[in-house]
Structure 1
Amino acid sequence: MIGVVVPVHDEEGCLDACLDALRTAATWPLLLGEAVSILIVLDACSDKSQRIVLAHAMQTDWRWRLDCIAVNARNVGAARAAGARVLLQRGARWLAFTDADTRVSPAWLSAQLALNADAVCGTVAVDDWSPHAGHADALREHFRHTYTDADGHRHIHGANLGVRASVYLRAGGFAPLACSEDVALVAALQACGAHIAWSAAPRVTTSARRNARARGGFGDTLLQVVAALGVAAVQAT
């Protein structure tokens, strides 16, 4: 069985799109009918996130399962680890991780498995820069020139990460970190000699939202770039 973990903290605005995309990936023909278990980890949610998950769970069939657990960690590393523990207990052989503001491609899971690696670090794409009105064009260009969306990159994103279950356990799993939990896991994987594929084949599209959830994460990095662009614009006038 393939397990997918999605940490969620008040994500009612983007969960529908995330779950629609995951359903397509979980039933993709290239998986050859292998079961997929998607687990949403509701971390201190006070919005309609749980209601949205339960509505999507009613659409499951023999190929995929969707359910949720609730934690009160307010910590993305702890949330990912909690989800992984449950899926390992269910017998997952492969763990894939993404985020609620991200839409995975139909072949996301099959592309990870096809790389035949212990772990897969994928890239992210952004198709809507409008949340950064006034800086959208400059931010898009900055991303295009500084981000390597190709095989051999060295980016690490919790929104596009996969790992063999046995190797995840050998590396010690996710640490309870409020940010950079994905970077810490990859460092642990490298330390234990895991074969990591740095690939752009597993595709995901993530948001450029301004209300970044984790300090130091992708969204927060974009906000820092926008701030720097603003300073540069003032200095140029």
Structure 2
Amino acid sequence: MLAPASRAYDRAVVVIPAHNERADLPACLRAVLTAALCVPISVTVIVVLDASDDGSVKLAGQYGPDVHFVSVDVHNVGAARAIGFGYGRSLCAADDVCWYATTDADSKVDPNWLIHQLELGVDMVLGVVRIASWRQRPAELADRYARAYRAGISGQDGHPHIHGANMGFSARAYWRVGGFRTLPTGEDVDLVEQFEAAGYRIHRDTELSVITSARTQGRAPQGFAHYLSQLGRTAAGDCA
């Protein structure tokens, strides 16, 4: 019998970029640490506080020695993710085989988030998201979003979505393609395109789901919050 794919890795590194996310970070970290308990390898969590002035740094030291806080002032989510994985690389032994994963500070991963990724035996895993609450958005937007999001999803072919809040990949492949680039938005799409161009195995998983926010004020220009706002404006236009 083949050994579980998770045992092919010595360590997992999870990077969480955050810009003024003091209110959401505790729930995010609790969820990631729960997922870490479900894997048979060490997990290092790195929170990259980018230009945060809301007291998020006071959370450092409250979640144990495997959770590291790094403060930067780059105002760029692509750079923040890249810095996080660069920092994680410095913590790994030279002969460690590492798996990387990333989520967002306003998101909560499921307990099986890491173990599911590790068991697939691929170079990159792309999951989906589900909205925690629509209270901040118009009621009709929820249905419109659900219809748009389901478009293209197939049990056999996976899904067409790419979310920085829900992705994982081989560290070796990540460094070979060059990693996250300094992009203010779309850094996740860019990384997937790099993996595709290099011929790496990418699995789009409809069962790997993360809870995320439907907030009205996004942290990245043209990001998920912007997409929801645009979708809402389109809906309003249809009803005019």
The normalised TM-score by structure 1 is 0.90
1:128 aligns with one of 124, 133, 139: 133
Structure 1 SS opposite 2:136: helix
Report the residue type matching 1:43 in the other structure: D
Secondary structure of the equivalent of 2:83? helix
Equivalent residue, structure 1, for 2:145: 143
Report how many residues are paired: 222
* SS class of match (2:74): coil
- 2:121 is matched with 116
2:69 pairs with 1:68: yes
How many Å separate the matches in 1 of 2:226 and 2:61? 30
How far, CA to CA, are the matches of 1:158 and 1:53 in structure 2?
23
Query: Aligned with 2:108: secondary structure?
Result: strand
Q: Considering only aligned residues, what root-mean-square deviation do their CA atoms show, in Å?
A: 1.4
Question: 1:113 and 1:50 mapped to 2: Cα distance?
Answer: 30
Matches of 2:72 and 2:132 in 1, distance apart?
31
Partner SS state of residue 71, structure 2: strand
1:9 paired with 2:19, answer yes
DSSP-derived class of the 1:54 partner? coil
The CA deviation at 1:150 is: 5.7
Distance 2:147 2:61 in 1: 41
Name stretches of at least 5 consecutive residues in structure 2 with no aligned partner: 1-10
Q: Which residue of 1 aligns with 2:208?
A: 202
Give 1:146 shift: 1.5
Letter aligned with residue 130 of structure 2:
A
Match of 2:51 in 1: 44
Contact 1:40 1:68 in 2 (8 A): yes
SS of the residue corresponding to residue 125 of structure 1 reads strand
> Structure 2: which amino acid aligns with 1:147?
Y
Give 5+ residue unaligned stretches, structure 1.
Answer: none
Q: Match for residue 169 of structure 1?
A: 175
Contact between 2:18 and 2:104, CA under 8 Å: does it hold in 1? yes
Structure 1 residue 228: deviation in Å?
1.6
Q: Is the 8 A contact 1:124 1:204 kept in 2?
A: yes
The equivalent residue for 2:194 is 188
**Correspondence list, 1:92-111, <5 A:** 93-111=98-116
Asked if structure 1 preserves the Cα contact closer than 8 Å seen for 2:177 and 2:195, the reply is yes
Aligned residues with identical type, % of pairs: 38
Q: Describe the superposition over 1:55-96 as per-residue Cα deviations: whole angstroms up to 9, x where unpaired.
A: 2x2xx37xxx10111111000000000001111222261110
Partner of 1:27: 37
Secondary structure of the structure 1 residue equivalent to 2:49: strand
What is the letter of the counterpart of residue 103 of structure 2?
T
Contact 1:111–1:202 (8 Å) recurs in 2: yes
Aligned-partner SS, 1:175: coil
* Contact 1:111-1:201 within 8 A present in 2 as well: no
TM-score normalised by the chain length of structure 2: 0.89
Match among 156, 161, 178 for residue 184 of structure 2? 178
Cα distance, 1:232 vs structure 2 = 2.4
Q: How much has 1:230 moved relative to structure 2?
A: 2.1
| Structure 2 letter corresponding to 1:100 | A
